Chains A and B, each alone.
Chain A
Amino acid sequence: MTASRFMAIQQALQPDWFQCLSDGEASCAEPTSIKRARKSVDRSLLFLDHCLRLQEESEVLQKSTIIGVIEGGDVLEERLRSARETAKRPVGGFLLDGFQGNPATLETRLNLLSSVTAELPEDKPRLISGVGRPDEVLECIERGVDLFESFFPYQVTERGCALTFSFDYQPNPEETLLQQNGTQEEIKCVDQTKKIKTTSCNQEMTSFEINLKEKKYQEDFDPLVRGCSCYCCENHTRAYIHHLLVTSELLAGVLLMIHNFEHYFGFFHSIREALKSDRLALLKELIRRQAS
C-alpha cells in the first residue's frame, strides 16, 4: 500500500472525510523503542505530504477532507513532534492513533493524550480510534477528543448483551441508578464483583451491560431499558430477546444492535448536554459508579 495506491482508492470511494495513510506500527509493539516511534512519525508525515500533493492534483477529491494522523507510540517527544508537524499541514482534523488497548494501558496514555491535544488547534476536530467504553470515552473528552468510533456497541451486541448503563445525570444519581438497573440486590452484586472482574481485554463483558443469555431473563417481560424509545424497547421484551439468543435466531442481533446504537448515541447526546450546561462532572461520577 503506497500513498498513490491509497489515494487512488480514495478517488474511487469519494469520501467526505478520510483518515490519511500512516505508520501505526510503533503502537503495536510494547514497549515502544524511541527509534521505532521516530520512524513512525517521520513516515506518517511523508505519507501525509504525499497524499496532500496528490489530493491537490485530483479534481474528484477537492471536496474531501484529509484527517492527519498523530503517531509516536508511547514516546512523549515523538508524540509532540507528530502533533506539531501535522498541525502545520492543511488537514481538516486529527486522528489520535495508538491509544487503543486495555484499560491499564489507557491510564498511562491519558497523560500523553492531554499533552498531544494541547498542541492541536482548537478549531479542528480530534478523533480517536479504539476507545469505546463509556468511562474511557469521558476521560478522552476531558482531554480534548471530539469523535469516537462505534465498535463498542457492536461488540456488546456480538456477545449477546445489551447496554443498560445510565447516563441520566440527575442531582440524585443514586436514584437513577436504581431505576435503570432494577433492584437493590443487583447493585450490590455489581459492587461485589467489581474486584473479581479484572477485565484485561476489552472483549469481555463490561459492567455497562446485561447478558441476555442468562437464565434470569427467560421470564423477564420488561424492555431492555425502561424508558428507551428504540424499536427494540418499544416492541420487545427481555424474555423474547433471550429466546432468540437461545434458539440462535438472526433477529437477536438485529434487535440488540438497534438498541445498543440508540443507547450509545443517547449517551453521547447526554455528554453534549452536560458539556453545554457545565455538568460533565456529574455525568462522569454517574458513569464512574457503574464502571467495574
Chain B
Amino acid sequence: MATASPTSLESAPRILRLVSECSRSRARAGELRLPHGRVATPVFMPVGTQATMKGITAEQLDALGCRICLGNTYHLGLRPGPELIQKAHGLHGFMNWPHNLLTDSGGFQMVSLVSLSEVTEEGVRFRSPFNGDETLLSPERSVEIQNALGSDIIMQLDDVVSSTVTGPRVEEAMYRSIRWLDRCIAAHQQPEKQNLFAIIQGGLDADLRATCLEEMTKRDVPGFAIGGLSGGESKDQFWRMVVLSTSRLPKDKPRYLMGVGYATDLVVCVALGCDMFDCVFPTRTARFGSALVPTGNLQLKKRQFQKDFRSIDPECACPTCQKHSRAFLHALLHSDNTAALHHLTVHNIAYQLQLMGTIRTSIMEKRFPDFVRDFMRTMYGDPTLYPTWATEALASVGITLS
C-alpha cells in the first residue's frame, strides 16, 4: 500500500465549538464556524441536488432558518458543469445562496447508478446519461470540481459499496477510500476556504471500520463523515456501526452521518454522538403529498383530510401551517396545480429544522434524555411499539426508555 503524506494539509482548522454535552449519552450541542457563517449543531442539512431546493426559493429556505444545505457534485458536474459555475462566482453565486453549502463528492452515485459506472484505482468511470460521454471521476477531479463550486464543506471521493455487499469488496473499498482521501488532500487547492471531510467506510464489519477509523483519524482533516450506511442494512447493524464510529472519532471535530433523515434516526444518532445529517427524505416525501408531524406523517391525499380544516401541525411555525389547512392542501393535491408540493416542502423542511432545534435546546438545558423519552412516546404511543433497535441503541449510551 502506497503511503501518501497524510499531513500535506496544514493543521486543519477546528471548525466545531462545543457548547454543551449530555452527561448521560454522547449527544453534543455546538456551533460550526464556516466561511459563510455559523451553523448550530446538531444540524439537519436539506438536499438541493441541482443547485435548487425542489421548488422553494433561497429566500424561503433562509426564512426557515436553514444555514447549510447540500449540492451534488455528480449532477452539477454534468449540468451545468464546473466551468460555468466558476464563471457565476461559484455555487453560492450561481444559486444566490448566502449561507453555507456542503457538496458531496459524487461517490454515492456509484452505488445508486452502478450499472453506468466502473470502479478502478484511478477513479470511477461514468457514462453520462445525457450525451453518452464517458467521464472519469477521480479523487483529483472530484476535488477540482468541488473547488470550482466553492462549497464550504467538501467531501472526499470514497469508494462506496452498498451496505448489503459482503466479502473482499468491502475491504478493498475501505483501503481504497483511505488512499483516495490522501489523494484528495493532496489535490485540494483551497484548504483555507473549503473544509475537506474524510468519510469513514468499512461497511458493516467492525474490524474494517475500526481500521478505517484508526487510519483516517491520523489525517488532520477538519471533519469526519460516517459513510457506507443508510443503505439496505438492518437498523440493528446500522446503529452499532454508528456507535463504533463515534467512539473512535475525535471529540473536537464534527461527525457527519450521511443519508440519515427519519426523525427517530436523527434523535437516536444525536444520542450516539453525531452532529450533522442530510437526507432527501423530507423533500422527497413532500412531493408525494406526505407531511411530517411529531406522530409520524399525514398522507394528505387521503379522503380523511378532505374536510379537515386544521393546519398540518398546530405547533408548527412554518408559513404553510400559518396559512393553510389540511383540507386546502388535500384539494390542491387532487388538482393539477403543483402548489401543494411547494407548501409541503416548506413544511417538511421546517419540521426537520425545528426538530433539530428542540433537540439542541434540550441538550443545552441538560434534559436531553427526557426529551428523547417524550419524543418516543409521542411518535410511537405505546412503549411496546418502540423499535427495538432504537431502544437498544439508546440504552447503549445510557438512555433508558421506560
Query: Which residues in B have their C-beta under 8 angstroms from that of A240?
Result: 51, 88, 94-96
With both beta carbons as reference points, the residue of chain B lying nearest to A234 in the complex is identified as B96
Q: A249, B84: Cβ atoms under 8 Å?
A: no
Give chain B's interface residues, CB within 8 Å of chain A: 50-59, 75, 79-80, 84, 87-88, 94-96, 338, 341-342
Complex Cα distance, B53 from A250, in Å, reads 9
Q: Could you tell me the distance between the alpha carbons of A240 and B55 in the complex, rounded to whole angstroms?
A: 14
Residue of A nearest to B53 (CB): A251
| Residue numbers in A under 8 Å from B96 (CB-CB) | 235-236, 240
**In-complex Cβ contact of B52 among A218, A221, A237, A244 (8 A):** A244
- Contact flags (1/0) for A233-257 with B, using CB distance below 8 Å? 0011101100110110111011100
The answer to whether B52 touches A251 (Cβ under 8 A) is yes
A231 within 8 A of partner (CB): yes
What residues of A have a CB within 8 angstroms of the CB of B59 in the complex?
231, 235
Contact A249 B88 (CB under 8 A): no
Offer 22 A-B interface pairs, CB within 8 angstroms, sorted by A: A218-B84, A221-B87, A221-B88, A235-B57, A235-B58, A235-B96, A236-B96, A239-B88, A243-B80, A243-B94, A244-B50, A249-B50, A249-B54, A249-B55, A250-B52, A250-B54, A250-B55, A251-B52, A251-B54, A251-B55, A251-B57, A253-B338
Cβ–Cβ contact A237 & B88, under 8 A: yes
Q: A231-B59, A247-B79, A250-B341 are in contact. List 13 more A-B contacts (CB 8 A).
A: A218-B80, A219-B84, A219-B87, A221-B88, A235-B59, A235-B96, A240-B95, A243-B50, A247-B50, A247-B75, A251-B56, A251-B57, A254-B57
Within 8 Å CB of A254, what residues of B?
Answer: 55-57, 342
Nearest first, the 4 closest Cβ-Cβ pairs linking A and B are A250-B55, A251-B52, A247-B50, A243-B80
Closest to A242 in B: B80
What's the Cα separation between A236 and B96 when bound, in Å? 7
Residues of B within 8 A of A218 (CB): 80, 84
Question: What total count of A-B pairs have CB within 8 Å?
Answer: 57
Q: Is the interface of A mostly helix, strand, loop or mixed?
A: helix
| Tier of interface size on chain A | 10 to 19
> Which residue of chain B is the closest to A232 with respect to CB atoms?
B57
A236 to B92 Cα, complex, angstroms: 11
Give chain A's interface residues, CB within 8 Å of chain B. Answer: 218-219, 221, 231, 235-237, 239-240, 243-244, 246-247, 249-251, 253-255
Q: Contacts A221-B87, A250-B338: A243 and B57 contacting too (C-beta < 8 A)?
A: no
- Residues of chain B within 8 A (CB-CB) of A219 are 84, 87
Q: Once bound together, how far apart are the Cα atoms of A218 and B88, in whole Å?
A: 11
Please state if B51 and A243 are interface contacts (CB–CB under 8 Å).
yes
How far apart sit A237 and B84, CA to CA, in the bound complex (Å)?
Answer: 13
Q: Given the complex of chains A and B, what is the CA–CA distance between A246 and B53 in angstroms?
A: 16
CB of A21, distance to nearest CB on chain B (Å): 23
In the bound complex, do residue B79 and residue A243 qualify as a contact, i.e. CB atoms below 8 Å apart? yes
Q: Which residue of B lies closest to A237 (CB)?
A: B88
For the complex, what is the distance from the CA of A236 to the CA of B58, rounded to whole Å? Answer: 10
Closest residue of B by beta carbon distance from A240? B94
CB distance from B8 to the nearest CB of A (A): 35
**Closest residue of A by beta carbon distance from B58:** A235
Smallest CB gap from A244: residue in B: B52
In the bound assembly, the distance between CA atoms of A239 and B50 in angstroms comes to 14
Measured between beta carbons, the chain B residues less than 8 angstroms from A236 are 96
Q: How far is the CB of A206 from chain B (nearest CB, A)?
A: 24
Contacts of B88 in A (CB 8 A): 221, 237, 239-240
Task: Provide the bound-state CA to CA distance between A247 and B79, in Å.
Answer: 8
Residues of A with C-beta under 8 A to B338: 250, 253
Task: Tell me if A239 and B57 are in contact (CB < 8 A).
Answer: no
Query: In angstroms, how far is the closest chain A Cβ from the Cβ of B343?
Result: 12
Complex: how many Å from CA A255 to CA B51?
14
Q: Which residues on A sit within 8 Å (CB–CB) of B84?
A: 218-219, 239
Measured CA separation A235–B54 after assembly (Å): 17
